[in-house]
Structure 1
């Protein structure tokens, strides 16, 4: 039976400290959660602005369901493109400074659809080696020739572009790298794309809402604008709800509508979610204190852990990775924090390179200084 092989593979993963298991949380998303009836202080969530359980958003979702129903009923291309979807796309395009935007059900589907629609067999994709798995899968499914460059290595990418003879070239990169928390050098990447007649697709899943003026994202943070930029961001992290969007020139969005398989052949997300994201977008833009609180907490954490025997990777974002190295050691440190009522996930290969297992500390504007101090004190005690 093939099941014997599956059991063996899972056993090997367990032996290497790579077995993943789910835990059931029996409370809403937040910085203080309940799992199996036990209270925990959580540093696991990507809810960077603390909006996922905001009462204004839950009220907006209830209103949206009452008016628009529980589901869209069909794909966008059949009869599932409802007025809230259309209004949200216009609002998102304006917010990030692009001509048009297109909603997707998830960021994974957005990346799959965009890359697959824009490049094919005779084209070339250039990708940072630490890109998110969705970008990696997207470039493979596109059937384009793939060139991967060392993390944020502008010189190597320049050489690869210099030697490319492909007519259509696409550079893809995370804006904020999800496991390291550092930023891509977007200005330098865009300059290379301008020089070599390439597109630049930016996955800003972890920057949207956090970076830039009013949380407009990484392009605003770096002051970038160009028709070559194709911008993707998710709506289930800092925006607090669900979904994703791609914003770009009108001809790019029209191409995605016609050729992005993960858009064409997927039932549209519930219109009530679009209503809720519109409400959250207004909060995200206006409540600057949320981003200011994040910056204070980031500085507090980095100062408090500066002399720890495990080092924080360089990051100015809410993603603060504590490098442990060994897989089993990272898992054990995570479990020892859990025993103290603190949740911080251990991240291991293949999500991160071999030998760089870490704790991924995620901060939220909903955390307090006391929450961060509790984590700092626990890590110092465990280090000794």
Structure 2
């Protein structure tokens, strides 16, 4: 009897890989060096706090005190005093009664949407929402209606025409591709007119909008009982993890029912301590978020003046459109070779399937840094 090895089971992967390569959509992991060797406009460290000594020292001290990991789920051994401190201070800063820390922002979105919806709910979602919001809807088994980007009347029509009693409107606050803002005040009004809740992913708004409190506060929605805000601790706060801010009864419901909270290992104490230290830096320097937004505006204005198709940033994200995925990849590689790291967004990461270079402004960029970035990006642009 000849034993089959089963080596052909995944042969179909080769066909898929070849198709991606032909379309210029192959992804590559590129390890980041310990020390900065390029000017980084690719990461999401909007306030420049990832390497801030106040943040790194807090993270290191927490690792020494609590260990390298949290040792279990939040409901078993994964909650420390640091988790409780971060939840309390984050909720207070953003103007909500309560908060809950998850292992990642992705897990927070999965947990919130699944726990607050289900088969008897309609989810009305923006077509440009982040993948974690889309996946949360899929896991929830709720009916999902996808509406055109930032189209308030389309949201209203979907809510008005639903056949199920419960409904949630789900949106990013700052859309990560072009950096434009959701019309949160108008969406909240539509929700209240039609008895729906509003879930806002503020991953790119926390630490950037207002004095850092984020998009809900800027829209006058902080603390509203029908609004739930999710966020990440890995962007402006320079650490790792996710969080949800909402009413006390929503948070209590998540503790009891959110599977990505109950069954996931808790966020490591070092990451919690780093995020908490960064939050305290933001609270102590309310001008810091404005500096990130000012850098973004300057980058966009100077790139547009150079003839490039740059977006008009409303937060700290600037994108530059590129005709093809292959050109976007080549352009980003030329920029890196010249000492400037920029993001390369290609399908399927871009919902409109238009490739882009994506630049993230940082509050700690100097005038010389900005000039260097503009020079490299414009000089290496496709002919």
| Band of TM-score, shorter chain | over 0.9
Q: Check if 1:260 corresponds to 2:267.
A: no
Q: Which residue is equivalent to 2:23?
A: 16
> Secondary structure, in 3 states, of the residue corresponding to 1:3?
coil
Q: Which residue is equivalent to 1:208?
A: 206
Structure 1 runs of 4+ with >4 Å offset: none
Asked whether the 8 Å contact 1:327–1:355 carries over to 2, the reply is: no
**Which of 334, 337, 359 is equivalent to 1:336?**
334
Q: Check if 1:85 corresponds to 2:83.
A: yes
1:66 and 1:59 map into 2 onto residues whose CA distance is 11
1:340 and 1:192 map into 2 onto residues whose CA distance is 48
> Secondary structure, in 3 states, of the residue corresponding to 2:99?
strand
Asked whether the 8 Å contact 2:208–2:293 carries over to 1, the reply is: no
Measured after TM superposition, the shift of residue 190 of structure 1 is 0.2
> Secondary structure, in 3 states, of the residue corresponding to 1:312?
coil
1:11 and 1:251 map into 2 onto residues whose CA distance is 50
Q: Which runs of 5+ in 2 are unaligned?
A: 1-7
Q: Check if 1:180 corresponds to 2:178.
A: yes
Q: Which residue is equivalent to 2:4?
A: none
- Change over 3 Å in CA distance of 1:78–1:20 after alignment to 2: same
**Which of 374, 379, 384 is equivalent to 2:377?**
379
Q: Which runs of 5+ in 1 are unaligned?
A: 34-38
**Which of 356, 361, 364 is equivalent to 1:363?**
361
What TM-score does the superposition give when structure 2 sets the normalisation length? 0.94
Measured after TM superposition, the shift of residue 344 of structure 1 is 1.2
How many residues matched? 374
Q: Check if 1:291 corresponds to 2:298.
A: no
Asked whether the 8 Å contact 2:83–2:101 carries over to 1, the reply is: yes
Q: Which residue is equivalent to 2:193?
A: 195
Instruction: Select between 368-377 and 299-308 the one with higher mean Cα deviation.
Output: 299-308
Show CA shifts across 1:254-286 (max 9, x none): 111111000000111122322332222110111
1:313 and 1:207 map into 2 onto residues whose CA distance is 17
Measured after TM superposition, the shift of residue 354 of structure 1 is 5.0
**Which of 55, 60, 73 is equivalent to 2:58?**
60
2:283 and 2:340 map into 1 onto residues whose CA distance is 31
Within 5 Å, which residues of 2 pair with 1:199-238?
199-212=197-210, 214-225=211-222, 226-238=224-236
Instruction: Select between 322-331 and 306-315 the one with higher mean Cα deviation.
Output: 306-315
